[in-house]
Amino acid sequence: MNGNDLLYRLSLNLIDDIGSVQAKNLIEHFGDAQAVFKAKKKELSLIEGIGEVRASKIKSFENFIEAEDEIKFCEKHHIEILFLTDTHYPKRLLNCYDPPTVLFYRGNADLNHAKIISIIGTRNNTDYGKQITEKLVADISSNNILIVSGLAFGIDAIAHKAALHNSLPTIGVLAHGLDSIYPSQHKTLAKEMLLNGGLLTEFRQNTKPDKHNFPRRNRIVAGMSDATIVIETATKGGSMITAELADNYNRDVFAVPGKITDGKSGGCLKLIQQNKAILFSDAAHIMETMGWEEKKKSKSKKQRELFIQLTDEEKIIVDILKEKEMMPIDELYLKSSLSSSAVAAAILNLEMNNVVMGLPGKMYRLI
């Protein structure tokens, strides 16, 4: 991607009413963002989701200098600008209905890490919440998991610090631009995270941490993770919003139970009661639920698989799954070039023969 197209991609993100879906449709149709701005209004209006009003806004846009300033700022501070069609863009967010069009990232962790969990909770945690968070992170430290949270006071900061202490990469998702850190008390923590993890936001420089930005931040925390773990929360607040979003995105949600008289456990108990969260017991339970536990394959099992007669379609699925530790069903459809019904039938037979295991979030891996 050349510098010109980056300028136009950022500019596209600055136009009111042009969200991620519209931006993606426009670029897929015209080939690149620069071509979108050069297109005629009538041609723009015929694109799905655009219409005459949005087409007019694209043609009347003139604020390219703001996009230029953002590019200069990012270059100076070694910030990566990620458009939703870029290779390094967090692919899990693309499975959500409202992914950010553009993300700004500074760090060294892989945003498409094989295993990602978010750990969230109240800003006013108890000692119990702190102990659970630290024990959870320590117990999963051998599983090479990326920890995501919101860099807030309380459980967020405890999760980030525990990840660093246990040499796990950790990403802080911000509700403001990368020219500042909120809360300011976490500047040192943020610097440490850049050495093993990073900072991620959809907000441009000079964006303040206004109240309405936090729900947008929370959807990224929920959407880029395979599972969300709620340590402590009241029945209302940011953690509940994040948990609800994760549930809506068909992600697994775990909640730590607490005393029914403890207000800081009220939200966790509510999520469990409403079947929106799995009751958290220990790290091993999470690993088992997510299919991340290490299992030793017995010799007899390997020998048994040698006698399974695979169809051509099943062989294709098995060969694809050998490429990665796990893979979503959508990627299997794409890579196999088989019909959805053929893939479904092949996976069903492979599961019955203990060759393939289904995981939460419509993911699959070889046993």
Looking at the fold, whether 177 and 276 belong to one and the same domain comes out as yes
pLDDT above 70: residue 26: yes
Question: Is 122 contained in some domain?
Answer: yes
Share of the chain above pLDDT 90, in %: 65
Looking at the fold, whether 122 and 259 belong to one and the same domain comes out as yes
Question: Is 98 contained in some domain?
Answer: no
Question: Is 85 contained in some domain?
Answer: no
Question: Is 88 contained in some domain?
Answer: no
29: exposed, middle or buried (Cβ count in 10 Å: 0-12, 13-18, 19+): middle
Residue 300, pLDDT score: 43
Coil, strand or helix at 8:
helix
Domain containing residue 25: CATH number: 1.10.150.20
Question: Is 91 contained in some domain?
Answer: no
- In Å, what is the CA distance from 277 to each residue of 45, 114, 228, 268, 303? 43, 22, 9, 8, 39
Residue 350, pLDDT score: 86
Looking at the fold, whether 113 and 182 belong to one and the same domain comes out as yes
Span 251-279, average pLDDT: 92
Looking at the fold, whether 132 and 258 belong to one and the same domain comes out as yes
pTM for this predicted structure: 0.78
Coil, strand or helix at 210:
coil
pLDDT above 60: residue 274: yes
Q: Taking a C-beta distance cutoff of 8 angstroms, is the pair 45, 36 a contact? A: no
Span 264-283, average pLDDT: 93
Least confident of 46-50, 344-348, 361-365: 361-365
Domain containing residue 314: CATH number: 1.10.10.10
Share of the chain above pLDDT 70, in %: 95
Span 63-82, average pLDDT: 95
Residue 259, pLDDT score: 85
Domain containing residue 196: CATH number: 3.40.50.450
Looking at the fold, whether 9 and 154 belong to one and the same domain comes out as no
Model confidence band, residue 20 (pLDDT cutoffs 50, 70, 90): confident
Q: Taking a C-beta distance cutoff of 8 angstroms, is the pair 359, 251 a contact? A: no
pLDDT above 60: residue 361: yes
Looking at the fold, whether 303 and 286 belong to one and the same domain comes out as no
Question: Is 32 contained in some domain?
Answer: yes
The CA-CA-CA angle for residues 198, 177, 75, to 5°, reads: 70
List, as one string, the DSSP characters of 20-59: HHHHHHHHHHHSSHHHHHHS-HHHHHTSTTTHHHHHHHHH
Span 13-24, average pLDDT: 87
Domain termination site, one of 266, 290, 314: 290
- Give me 268's structure tokens: 């966790």
Span 263-267, average pLDDT: 91
Residues 6+ apart with CB under 8 A from 155: 119, 120, 121, 122, 123, 125, 129, 130, 133, 149, 231, 232, 239
- Give me 88's structure tokens: 């390094």
Rounded distance, CA 198 to CA 143, Å? 19
- In Å, what is the CA distance from 125 to each residue of 187, 190, 254? 20, 20, 17
Rounded distance, CA 32 to CA 223, Å? 26
Query: What total number of domains does the chain contain?
Result: 3
Looking at the fold, whether 227 and 322 belong to one and the same domain comes out as no
Residue 303, pLDDT score: 42
Max mean pLDDT among 13-22, 128-137, 280-289, 303-312 falls in 128-137
Q: Taking a C-beta distance cutoff of 8 angstroms, is the pair 288, 254 a contact? A: no
Looking at the fold, whether 231 and 255 belong to one and the same domain comes out as yes
Looking at the fold, whether 228 and 131 belong to one and the same domain comes out as yes
Question: Is 81 contained in some domain?
Answer: no
32: exposed, middle or buried (Cβ count in 10 Å: 0-12, 13-18, 19+): middle
Span 283-299, average pLDDT: 75
Name the average pLDDT for the chain: 90
Residue 171, pLDDT score: 98
Phi and psi at residue 227, in whole multiples of 5°?
A: -150, 150
Residue 24, pLDDT score: 82
pLDDT above 60: residue 71: yes
Looking at the fold, whether 43 and 150 belong to one and the same domain comes out as no
Domain termination site, one of 290, 308, 336: 290
pLDDT above 50: residue 306: no
Instruction: Give pLDDT tens digits for 245-256.
Output: 999 999 999 999
Domain that holds residue 55: 3-76
Looking at the fold, whether 256 and 325 belong to one and the same domain comes out as no
Rounded distance, CA 239 to CA 123, Å? 10
Domain termination site, one of 236, 269, 290: 290
Model confidence band, residue 165 (pLDDT cutoffs 50, 70, 90): very high
Amino acid at 354: N
Higher pLDDT among residues 253 and 328, named by residue = 253
Looking at the fold, whether 39 and 69 belong to one and the same domain comes out as yes
Question: Is 13 contained in some domain?
Answer: yes
pLDDT above 70: residue 299: no
